[in-house]
Amino acid sequence: MDIDALLTSAAINTGLSVLLFSLYSILRKQPSNSIVYFGRRLASLNNRNSRNHFSFERFVPSPSWIVKAWETTENEILAIGGLDAVVFQRTLVFSIRVFSIAAVMCLFLVLPVNYYGQEMKHKHIHAESLNVFTIANVKEGSRWLWAHCLTLYIISCSACVLLYFEYKSITKMRLAHITTSPPNPSHFTILVRSIPYSVGESYSNSVKKFFTDYYSSSYLSHQIVYRCGLVQKLMVDAEKICTKIKAVPNGQPSLKPCCLCGGSTSFKVLTDEPESVKDSFSYSNLNLATRDNERSAAFVIFKTRYAAVIATQMLQSPNPMSWVTELAPEPHDVLWSNLCIPFRQLWLRKIVTLLASVVFMVLFLAPVTFVQGLTQLEKLSQTFPFLRGFLKQDLINHVLTGYLPSVILMLFLYTVPPTMMLFSSVEGPVSRSGRKRSACLKILYFTIWNVFFVNHVSGGFLFAFNMLSSVGDIPVELAKAIPNQASFFVTYVLTSGWASLSCEVMQPFSLLCNFLKKHLRRNHEDSSDGLVSFPYHTEIPRVLLFGLIGFTYSVMAPLILPFLLIYFLLAYLVYRNQVVNVYIRKYESGGQLWPIVHNTTIFSLVLTQMIAIGVFGIKKSPIASGFTIPLIICTLLFNEYCRQRFSPIFKKNVAQVLIEMDRRDEQSGRMEEIHQQMHSAYCQLPLTSHEFCESVHKLCQDNIRGQEDTKPGKEPSEVSEPCAVCNFGKEDNIRE
Amino acid sequence: MDIDALLTSAAINTGLSVLLFSLYSILRKQPSNSIVYFGRRLASLNNRNSRNHFSFERFVPSPSWIVKAWETTENEILAIGGLDAVVFQRTLVFSIRVFSIAAVMCLFLVLPVNYYGQEMKHKHIHAESLNVFTIANVKEGSRWLWAHCLTLYIISCSACVLLYFEYKSITKMRLAHITTSPPNPSHFTILVRSIPYSVGESYSNSVKKFFTDYYSSSYLSHQIVYRCGLVQKLMVDAEKICTKIKAVPNGQPSLKPCCLCGGSTSFKVLTDEPESVKDSFSYSNLNLATRDNERSAAFVIFKTRYAAVIATQMLQSPNPMSWVTELAPEPHDVLWSNLCIPFRQLWLRKIVTLLASVVFMVLFLAPVTFVQGLTQLEKLSQTFPFLRGFLKQDLINHVLTGYLPSVILMLFLYTVPPTMMLFSSVEGPVSRSGRKRSACLKILYFTIWNVFFVNHVSGGFLFAFNMLSSVGDIPVELAKAIPNQASFFVTYVLTSGWASLSCEVMQPFSLLCNFLKKHLRRNHEDSSDGLVSFPYHTEIPRVLLFGLIGFTYSVMAPLILPFLLIYFLLAYLVYRNQVVNVYIRKYESGGQLWPIVHNTTIFSLVLTQMIAIGVFGIKKSPIASGFTIPLIICTLLFNEYCRQRFSPIFKKNVAQVLIEMDRRDEQSGRMEEIHQQMHSAYCQLPLTSHEFCESVHKLCQDNIRGQEDTKPGKEPSEVSEPCAVCNFGKEDNIRE
């Protein structure tokens, strides 16, 4: 690939990005899209007015959202998106900082050294191959390799220093997050699993007996987990209620036409008799809290935070596989379905999903190899001879080498997050945030392996497989491959990076759903069903992959750095905008994502240094190679220090902090009040009934709206006031 | 190597073993050696009579010690040697059981298949090469390989079943050991390290403040750790006392001649004036408990066991590198010198010792490669042509191939334990048992790598180094090498195995020391200085190495199994004898060694299975290879299950058990009494002063004896009654 092809690719992508960002700035002004682009804000305000007043400004693109995103402070992000959002922002800030330093060093020191590395007649700059700008152009045994070595030192040191301060400040924020948060049920509650079965005694009694016996001074109450088939039971009951609704005596069954199929729905309109429905809507016949429905898991609530943490840290019973305790996730974070999984299955499930993920990673190599083939036009025209004439055209050539491979790779990559999320669900985590973190790690390994490693190995599929068996050769293989693969990764940053940001800001899927809902299903109401939380599990691996590419290519092929910096700057703005406007916060992991970011960055640094040793070796500069080895050792020692100094805070709660929080609450006399709240915090039944209630409410609304459509002059009712039929809307109605 | 050479080797070793065991049975009857062979028994009885009455029986070898060892029950072993000794015995019992099964299967099924594996004319059995009995003799693609596969299944399954029951019973024993033991100070005490420095406040005050603040209900007292230079200070004081002793007014300085050098020692004889010495011997002028001598570590004693465990499990402070807590080792187990190491150094020390161990392992390859050369006579005669005539003699040939290589390897291996022990000391463990465990692991890795792996790699030194970089090739390499290296390992079992047991039972080093002491230094008194605790760190790796050799060779070269079984049976008897008679128990790890044994056995099994896959692949039997893969998976799953089910008990104390122990003590009203004992349990000063006292006592004894030598008719004083000068001997005076 030459500079022309690169510029083509850059032009296409810049144009596309500008177009999409402009389109976004128009679309976001349309009131009908407000639920797509301001979902979080609407959900928090419960205010959906200012509709439909037409103005010309609405159709002029403006950069106001960029200004707003820029002006948002970190405290606002913390208040809106929680600590996780701040951690994500800090990841981007760290990347911008470190790659700014790298860009300055590489563009002003390394790039000229590369360009004038060999005595050759340089072509016109347009036709110059990208290879001329990489380390491949430096003569063997050149003295100028010290420039690369020095740059590597500066990048590594600045990365470590920045990482240290980030880790330190995020640790502080995490502690502050714990101390300043309002009384959190998850601090007082533990999750007990694998309660031993004893004949003639319910699990509930066993729990009560055990904890009143061994934790008599601190045990408050407990809440047993019930069978998951419960939801099915509720669905059956819902059906029963439906039949009752249909059978309301004085309702004239009027059929509402469906705009999709032109036929008629089977919903019959309900007359205004909420009382009759309310009567039928009782839980008396559910009677769920029976012995048979109990599962061997329970939430146990303690009087103090400290007591709860003690109970999680101890090995309770001589059989380590019974009475297993862990800190409970936040109530909104609980994955009730996984709580019913017997604890003894968990280790097997973990192994099975690990194997499944590995198999998935290996099978995925096939499309990647195909993509790899596309970047080498000769190969392609050999495989498909009839394409030869077509491929000779310049534009086609540029598009094919500069754009298409990345797009195909990207499309394939879209199947990965749902698959990994599925694997993580099967694994059996008890919290949504835990599931997301597990999926995040899986996607991260997947991305680094499939996008980074496999693309660098010239032999493709089979060769990559062989590589696994000879781990020692990987750095040398990479050292050979990296200067040659620079063009692929520059275009990868342009397409996958920039385009993914445009895509992120546009939210094409939500937009489409919203459009279909409003124009085909004629549902003009903005429901908050579509609101989702921030997809950390897809975005963090993406950002970290670009970090890895940035580190490894910085010294080898510095031309990638400006594009990468633009990516990170755009990402910074886009994700701020999204955190403030689009995504809601349902649960928090309290900054648990930072250790993943830290470890991956250290991995990237060490890999870069190892590749540099390989490249210096190929370039026959043993001094530069030798000088790089202490750098690896120092980086690893730095990582070990951080692991000792900071990471325990992310794994355990601090006794001192918890004791002081407990004391403060006790002194202020709020403890009683907190205990009152705790009793109902983890209640499986109300939450499920809430879901049930919501579906019944929808049914009501649909029917009421059907009636109202026939009565002109009446505005459709807003969700902001509770529904008269089922009382729905009284509580916060945000869910996944 | 042929059967003749093997028989030569076996004959030499059997003869040698019989000779040494007979010699042992005579030597042990000599009263002068009683301290060598009955050290533990004498120390426990404090009874050293029945000397010197001559009888003829004393010079007739007898097998009575074998009978006694055999008759010792497990409960006796538990009472005498503690749980660790029982774990070691169980390891041997497990090995005997599993290799009995293996021997039956292999000798009656696999051996005939190997022997008749190829259509060939068999030589006379004497001249048959050992290779004929290995799997190398089976035809490629032979259907009889199912016999090997089946045997592998039976061995693996029986090993897993036996391992499971052993792990279960040892876990039970560990719990029983905790519950039934008398109140142990280590259960009530935690070790706090890295106490933060605060200006104007002593560490002692900081500790008191912190624990009375956060653990007010359970904190009892604490004991700060003082500077290790203390011992130096005491030495200076000892010198001062020496000068005082010299300056006793009415003593006639008489010089005692030394029998070694013929010259005179500088010790001057003290007249009987103990009171004057006693006066000078006071701690009033030591004044050690000052601010400057304090180190940032302390033992904190709690009122209950449960409270102590809670304090160790919690993360105390927002800075995870200060107020670091762990359970205290038993008082006798404390390594005081390592307590002074600043906590912040520990992670660096660990990394440095890890690197040092790896370097040591790599450098050690050189002698092993040389040894490897000796087994191939052709190589040797090529290197040293002048030896050619010499090497052609049959006996020399047999000795060289059958005996010498192992002896050389063994001699080199004797340098390993002290080196690894040194590394483990530098690492900074706070307990002797921890240091021993760490050394045990290091020696285990070392032995498996240097004895097992490197010997199997035909290319020796450099090749073994290359192997590290291509981990995937190891099983294939081993599969090629194992049938050929059978002769080496059979002789290794004979020499290193059998001879090491004779050596163990003879205790040549102690015997020599005792002899020198009695006959050259004319010290006829049995002091308990030479008593050592069981060297688990050398013996467990040895037994596990033989286990590994047994598993890997069982199916491939079954001829090794009878020799191995004899080794394990002998080891069972010898170590029982040693536990009962020789080694004293100073401290206990409470069965912490079993997880090492378990994991190594699983490693051996999986390695065996992987090698089997390689061999079946070489023999072109894909079905047998395929059938072995599920076996590996099942073995790994079994290991994972055991890790979940049992290993937490070996890492954490069980809350339920501790709470019940506390309750029992409280109900019986013994708690007050226990608290009284606890106050002085961890006192650095008395222990050190005890050492000091001991050295002063020695000085006294030497001088008194010098005097007495000149006065005929007076028996030398026994240690059993306390010394009149320094009161030494009042307490238990056993130390390492």
User: Worst-scoring range by mean pLDDT, A692-696, B264-268, B285-289, B531-535?
Assistant: B264-268
Q: A214–B646: do the CB atoms touch at under 8 Å?
A: no
Residues 6+ apart with CB under 8 A from B294: B202, B203, B204, B224, B225, B226, B227
| Closest of A613, A650, A648 to residue A628, by C-alpha | A613
pLDDT tens, position by position, B451-489: 787 777 654 445 555 555 555 667 777 777 777 778 878
Q: A347–B175: do the CB atoms touch at under 8 Å?
A: no
- Decide which of B374 and A293 is more confident: A293
Q: A473–B469: do the CB atoms touch at under 8 Å?
A: yes
Residue with tokens 């010299």: B246
Mean pLDDT of A237-242: 64
Give me the long-range contacts of B175-181 (CB less than 8 A, separation at least 24).
B175/A318, B175/B649, B175/B654, B175/B657, B177/B83, B177/B588, B177/B590, B177/B591, B178/B590, B178/B653, B178/B657, B178/B661, B179/B657, B179/B660, B179/B661
Burial (CB count within 10 angstroms: exposed 0-12, middle 13-18, buried 19+), residue B399: middle
Question: Rounded to a whole number, what is the largest CA-CA distance in chain B?
Answer: 96
pLDDT tens, position by position, A163-219: 999 999 999 999 999 898 888 888 999 999 999 988 888 898 999 999 999 998 899
B61 in helix, strand or coil?
coil
Give me the long-range contacts of A199-203 (CB less than 8 A, separation at least 24).
A202/A291, A202/A294, A203/A294, A203/A295, A203/A296, A203/A298
Q: Which residue of B has its CA nearest to A633?
A: B351
DSSP H/E element including B362: helix B343-363
Mean pLDDT of B182-193: 90
Chain B residues within 8 A of A468 when measuring between CB atoms:
472
Q: A653–B351: do the CB atoms touch at under 8 Å?
A: no
In the structure encoding, which two tokens stand for residue B19, read together?
Answer: 């000779």
pLDDT tens, position by position, A666-705: 999 888 888 888 887 887 764 444 444 455 445 545 555 5
Chain B residues within 8 A of A318 when measuring between CB atoms:
171, 175, 649, 654, 656-657
What pLDDT shows up at residue A722?
41
Name the minimum distance, in Å, from the CA of A665 to any CA of chain B: 16
Using the predicted structure, report yes or no on whether residue B123 has a pLDDT greater than 80: no
Name the minimum distance, in Å, from the CA of A656 to any CA of chain B: 6
DSSP track, A157-206: HHHHHHHHHHHHHHHHHHHHHHHHSPPPHHHHEEEEE-PPP-TT--HHHH
CA distance B47 to B715: 16
In the structure encoding, which two tokens stand for residue B209, read together?
Answer: 């403040």
Q: In the sheet where A294-302 sits, what is the strand order?
A: A219-226, A294-302, A189-193, A324-327
| A529 band by pLDDT with thresholds 50, 70 and 90 | low
Query: Which amino acid belongs to residue B479?
Result: A
- Among partner residues A313, A640, A656, which is closest to B347 by beta-carbon distance? A640
**What are the CA-CA distances from residue B625 to residues A180, A574, B475, B551 (Å)?**
61, 55, 13, 17
- Decide which of B528 and B71 is more confident: B71
> Looking at this predicted complex, what is its ipTM?
0.78
Q: A313–B313: do the CB atoms touch at under 8 Å?
A: yes
Best of B304, B310, B474, B653 to mutate (most A CBs within 10 Å, chain A): B310
Strands of A272-359 (E only): list them: 294-302, 324-327
Name the DSSP class of B314. S
What pLDDT shows up at residue B415?
83
Name the minimum distance, in Å, from the CA of B194 to any CA of chain A: 13
Strands of A43-170 (E only): list them: none
User: Worst-scoring range by mean pLDDT, A10-19, A706-715, B543-552, B563-572?
Assistant: A706-715
Chain A residues within 8 A of B465 when measuring between CB atoms:
none
Chain B residues within 8 A of A351 when measuring between CB atoms:
637, 640
What pLDDT shows up at residue A361?
86
A638: phi then psi, degrees, rounded to nearest 5: -60, -45
| B711 band by pLDDT with thresholds 50, 70 and 90 | very low
Chain B residues within 8 A of A640 when measuring between CB atoms:
347, 351
- Decide which of A541 and B290 is more confident: A541
Query: How many A/B residue pairs have CB atoms within 8 Å?
Result: 104
In the predicted model, what is the mean pLDDT of chain A? 78
What pLDDT shows up at residue B67?
87
Using the predicted structure, report yes or no on whether residue B603 has a pLDDT greater than 90: yes
Mean pLDDT of B426-448: 92
| Closest of B550, B720, B471 to residue B97, by C-alpha | B550
Expressed in angstroms, the distance from the first to the final Cα of chain B is 45
Residue with tokens 């937490």: B648
Using the predicted structure, report yes or no on whether residue B696 has a pLDDT greater than 60: no
In the structure encoding, which two tokens stand for residue A327, read together?
Answer: 């800190």
DSSP H/E element including B297: strand B294-302
Ranges of H-type helices in A326-459: 336-339, 343-363, 365-375, 377-383, 388-392, 394-402, 404-413, 416-427, 432-447, 454-456
pLDDT tens, position by position, B144-154: 888 999 999 99
Q: A471–B471: do the CB atoms touch at under 8 Å?
A: yes
Q: B469–A468: do the CB atoms touch at under 8 Å?
A: no
Residues 6+ apart with CB under 8 A from A440: A536, A537, A540, A541, A593, A596
What pLDDT shows up at residue B245?
59
What pLDDT shows up at residue A504?
86
pLDDT tens, position by position, B488-500: 788 888 877 888 8
What pLDDT shows up at residue B567?
93
Q: A637–B351: do the CB atoms touch at under 8 Å?
A: yes
- Decide which of B664 and A256 is more confident: B664
pLDDT tens, position by position, A547-590: 999 999 998 889 889 999 999 999 999 999 988 888 888 888 88
Q: A649–B318: do the CB atoms touch at under 8 Å?
A: yes
Chain A residues within 8 A of B655 when measuring between CB atoms:
214, 314-317
Burial (CB count within 10 angstroms: exposed 0-12, middle 13-18, buried 19+), residue B249: exposed
Q: A645–B309: do the CB atoms touch at under 8 Å?
A: no
Residues 6+ apart with CB under 8 A from A618: A140, A479, A480
Dihedral class, residue B200 (left if φ above 0, else alpha if ψ from -120 to 50, else beta)? left
- Decide which of A128 and A585 is more confident: A585
pLDDT tens, position by position, A447-499: 888 878 777 765 444 555 555 555 566 777 777 777 777 877 888 888 778 88
Expressed in angstroms, the distance from the first to the final Cα of chain A is 45
| Closest of B647, B330, B592 to residue B440, by C-alpha | B592
Name the minimum distance, in Å, from the CA of B657 to any CA of chain A: 7
- Decide which of B505 and B474 is more confident: B505
Q: Are B102 and B554 in contact (CB under 8 A)?
A: yes
What pLDDT shows up at residue A507?
83
What pLDDT shows up at residue A192?
93
| Closest of A149, A165, A189 to residue A303, by C-alpha | A189
Name the minimum distance, in Å, from the CA of B329 to any CA of chain A: 19
Ranges of H-type helices in B448-526: 454-456, 461-469, 474-492, 500-506, 508-519
Give me the long-range contacts of A254-260 (CB less than 8 A, separation at least 24).
A254/A706, A254/A707, A254/A710, A256/A706, A256/A709, A259/A520, A259/A521, A259/A522, A260/A520, A260/A521
Name the minimum distance, in Å, from the CA of B313 to any CA of chain A: 6
B325 in helix, strand or coil?
strand
**What are the CA-CA distances from residue A5 to residues A394, A398, A406, A669 (Å)?**
9, 5, 14, 70
pLDDT tens, position by position, B171-185: 999 999 989 888 888
Q: B214–A653: do the CB atoms touch at under 8 Å?
A: no
Q: Count of CB atoms within 10 A of residue A565's CB? A: 18
Q: B315–A469: do the CB atoms touch at under 8 Å?
A: no
In the structure encoding, which two tokens stand for residue A51, read together?
Answer: 């509709």
Q: A648–B469: do the CB atoms touch at under 8 Å?
A: no
CA distance A527 to A716: 13
pLDDT tens, position by position, A391-426: 667 777 777 666 666 677 667 778 889 999 999 999
CA A349 centroid distance within chain: 23
What pLDDT shows up at residue A171?
94
Q: B320–A657: do the CB atoms touch at under 8 Å?
A: no
CA distance B51 to A251: 115
Name the minimum distance, in Å, from the CA of B464 to any CA of chain A: 14
Residue with tokens 């599962």: A295
In the structure encoding, which two tokens stand for residue A62, read together?
Answer: 């403006």
What pLDDT shows up at residue A719?
38
Residues 6+ apart with CB under 8 A from A175: A649, A654, A657, B318
| A240 band by pLDDT with thresholds 50, 70 and 90 | low
- Decide which of B716 and A148 is more confident: A148
Mean pLDDT of A338-361: 90
Q: Which residue of B has its CA nearest to A216?
A: B659
Strands of B167-293 (E only): list them: 189-193, 219-226, 255-257, 264-268
Ranges of H-type helices in B364-431: 365-375, 377-383, 388-392, 394-402, 404-413, 416-427
Burial (CB count within 10 angstroms: exposed 0-12, middle 13-18, buried 19+), residue A615: buried
Share of chain B above pLDDT 70, in %: 74
Name the minimum distance, in Å, from the CA of B330 to any CA of chain A: 21
Using the predicted structure, report yes or no on whether residue B210 has a pLDDT greater than 90: yes
In the predicted model, what is the mean pLDDT of chain B? 78
B448: phi then psi, degrees, rounded to nearest 5: -60, -40
Residue with tokens 């601190």: A218
Q: Which residue of A has its CA nearest to B315?
A: A654
What pLDDT shows up at residue B489?
84
- Considering only CB atoms, which residues of chain B are within 8 Å of chain A? 171, 175, 214, 309-310, 313-321, 347-348, 351, 468-473, 637, 640-641, 644-649, 652-657, 659
B255 in helix, strand or coil?
strand
Chain B residues within 8 A of A352 when measuring between CB atoms:
none
Q: Which residue of B has its CA nearest to A179?
A: B318
pLDDT tens, position by position, A369-392: 666 566 666 666 666 677 667 666
Q: B309–A310: do the CB atoms touch at under 8 Å?
A: no
Chain B residues within 8 A of A473 when measuring between CB atoms:
469-470
Mean pLDDT of A295-317: 91
In the structure encoding, which two tokens stand for residue A661, read together?
Answer: 């929080």
- Decide which of A698 and A304 is more confident: A304
Using the predicted structure, report yes or no on whether residue A270 has a pLDDT greater than 60: no
- Decide which of B278 and A59 is more confident: A59
| Closest of A248, A238, A233, A229 to residue A281, by C-alpha | A238
- Decide which of B467 and B659 is more confident: B659
**What are the CA-CA distances from residue B156 to residues B89, B111, B579, B617, B632 (Å)?**
21, 18, 31, 20, 9
| A291 band by pLDDT with thresholds 50, 70 and 90 | low
CA distance A508 to A36: 9
Q: A656–B317: do the CB atoms touch at under 8 Å?
A: yes
